[in-house]
Structure 1
Amino acid sequence: MNEPVTRLPDINDIPLSAPLTWLASGWRDFWSAPVTCSLYGILLSGISAGIFLVLYTTGSASWFFVLLGGFLIAGPLLGMGLYHAARELSDGRKPSLSGMLWVRAAMRRDQLLLGLLIVFLYFLWTRIAQVIYALSTPQIFREPQAFLTFMLTDPAGQTMALSGILTGGVVAFCNFSLTAISAPMLLDRRFDVFMAMATSVRAVNRNFYPMFLWAVLITGLTALGVLTAFLGLIIVFPVIGLASWHAYVALVRQQGA
């Protein structure tokens, strides 16, 4: 069993193109275990599509974008099985679906604390979204088309959309800074959640532009996956999750691992 460490690990400097290298590595990993990774992606895509269907049928269309923001916030935690798969592939082993769904290394108090932080940030985002919505219009839109028409053509709706994007972006980037490295880092039991989050923030701060590009790529690819009726998430989410493990390995200097 690895002994706990008492100091934060060093952070590597990375080039601006590094996120593209991580995506390429994630793509290779996906095709090294295509069935297992696809099943993981199908599960997540199915859950996402089911939530959207419930929103659509219950006339809660305006909540879709809030939940989409929540999906981006919760993504690092949902990818735990994929970090495990990438590590297995790096060690020359084939990951199993059961091993990805039940990651023993993630069953610890530190993982719970990180999850609680993500839940807090998500609820913070939903409350902000509710305030912005309430200040923008007294109407409750039951149909997606009516809500989109208001958001795109009405000045109040456009202001609402811009305010939501800006505030949601700030919350999402704060979450990204705290979890981009900490989520995969917690698979290494030598580090606790506070060391992992501090390392993640340091990695983003030291390599701001490459990490900002990484955040943009994650957001853009996730949006693309959603816009393809969630089918794109079957591939997009596993590739991003696998690539996130390679991001951790590239950013955090491995000493005595």
Structure 2
Amino acid sequence: MTPAQHVQPALASAQIHIRDITGSDLRGALADGWDDFKDKRGDIIIIGFAYPVIGLMLAVLALGYSLLPVVFPLAAGISILGPAVAAGFYELARRRERGLDSSWRHFFDVFSGPSFVPLVTLTVFLAVLFLLWLGAAWTIYQMTLGSLDPQGIGSFMSLLFTTPEGWTMIVGGNLVGLAFAALVLTVSAMSFPMLVDRPVDVGTAVATSVRAVAHNPVNMLKWGLIVAVLLLLGSIPVFIGLAVVLPWLGYATWHLYTRVVEIEGEPRRPAA
């Protein structure tokens, strides 16, 4: 029997409990996340700036290649990768919660040890969803506003809000985007923090996230809306606010995870 076979039964027999949460838990998670951000987090704000810089580069690329219709899907769709980008913030919040050194160099601890492969696997899955979202957005554009062949930003914006094709694109795009967002929330809300916290496989982490959303549908939906609103506000103007919003949400998501998921019979991942 291989070492992996020795480990797997322990993982399968772990008791993973999903707690009921309320609106006060959501507010508490946000408050605790903000405390994490304020406490010695100024030294890593440059990491938070990486997110808006990537967003700006993608937007410039899209404009440079006359792909104006996908600029908004790019901005909205980048949030699909948010849970993966925030993995380092989960680690810092985990360490601070346990009274360990939480300086910036530990941001990259998630890229070593047993968490690395599952985190990469789940990140690749989110990246595929991101590409599928862009493909869906482009298809919706081609089926609606693309038939009118807008020329330039002014023409595009005018046709978007003054024609039936434009409004069909807005409504259809938002409905499809909502479906992608709901899928990402269900799959990743608790799975990424769990992979940072415990030496579990991707299947266990994703199944736990799905159970958490199914057990607390209303409050997890509220959490998804809070995340969406904060990401939107952080994107105005030109994504700069995400340098604050992304770390804050990363820390807050960790604290929501600790309120939702309770695990018995399985050791926590040791500190690096």
* Distance in 2, Cα, partners of 1:98 & 1:148: 45
Contact 1:56 1:144 in 2 (8 A): no
Question: 1:208 matched to which residue of 2?
Answer: 217
Q: Which of these residues, 155, 163, 175, is aligned with residue 164 of structure 2?
A: 155
CA shift in 2, pair 1:116/1:43, >3 Å? closer
* Distance in 1, Cα, partners of 2:104 & 2:171: 40
User: SS where residue 100 of structure 2 aligns?
Assistant: coil
* Distance in 1, Cα, partners of 2:113 & 2:74: 28
Question: 1:133 matched to which residue of 2?
Answer: 141
Contact 2:88 2:109 in 1 (8 A): yes
In the alignment, is residue 185 of structure 1 matched against residue 194 of structure 2? yes
Q: How much has 1:35 moved relative to structure 2?
A: 1.5
CA shift in 2, pair 1:53/1:215, >3 Å? same
Question: 1:229 matched to which residue of 2?
Answer: 238
* Distance in 2, Cα, partners of 1:142 & 1:235: 36
In the alignment, is residue 6 of structure 1 matched against residue 12 of structure 2? yes
User: SS where residue 9 of structure 1 aligns?
Assistant: strand
Q: What amino acid does structure 2 have at the position aligned with 1:252? A: V
Q: What amino acid does structure 2 have at the position aligned with 1:76? A: P
Question: 2:3 matched to which residue of 1?
Answer: none
User: SS where residue 253 of structure 1 aligns?
Assistant: strand
* Distance in 2, Cα, partners of 1:93 & 1:152: 53
In the alignment, is residue 86 of structure 1 matched against residue 78 of structure 2? no
Question: 1:114 matched to which residue of 2?
Answer: 122
In the alignment, is residue 251 of structure 1 matched against residue 257 of structure 2? no
* Distance in 1, Cα, partners of 2:88 & 2:65: 32
Q: State the TM-score, normalizing by the size of structure 2.
A: 0.86
* Distance in 2, Cα, partners of 1:22 & 1:191: 23
* Distance in 2, Cα, partners of 1:209 & 1:68: 26
Structural RMSD (CA)? 2.0
Question: 1:20 matched to which residue of 2?
Answer: 27
Question: 2:4 matched to which residue of 1?
Answer: none
User: SS where residue 196 of structure 2 aligns?
Assistant: coil
In the alignment, is residue 31 of structure 1 matched against residue 30 of structure 2? no
Q: Deviations over 1:95-147 (max 9, x none)?
A: 23332145224753222221222122222222221221111022555644433
Structure 1: where are the runs of 5+ without partners? none
Contact 2:187 2:206 in 1 (8 A): yes
Aligned identity (percent) is: 30
In the alignment, is residue 199 of structure 1 matched against residue 205 of structure 2? no
Structure 2: where are the runs of 5+ without partners? 1-6
User: In terms of mean alpha carbon deviation, does 174-183 or 118-127 score higher?
Assistant: 118-127
Which portions of structure 1, spanning 4 or more consecutive aligned residues, are displaced by more than 6 angstroms? none
Q: State the TM-score, normalizing by the size of structure 1.
A: 0.91
Q: Which of these residues, 42, 50, 57, is aligned with residue 57 of structure 2?
A: 50
Q: How much has 1:230 moved relative to structure 2?
A: 1.5
CA shift in 2, pair 1:144/1:88, >3 Å? farther
Larger radius of gyration: 2
Q: How much has 1:223 moved relative to structure 2?
A: 0.6
In the alignment, is residue 59 of structure 1 matched against residue 66 of structure 2? yes
Q: Which of these residues, 136, 161, 164, is aligned with residue 173 of structure 2?
A: 164
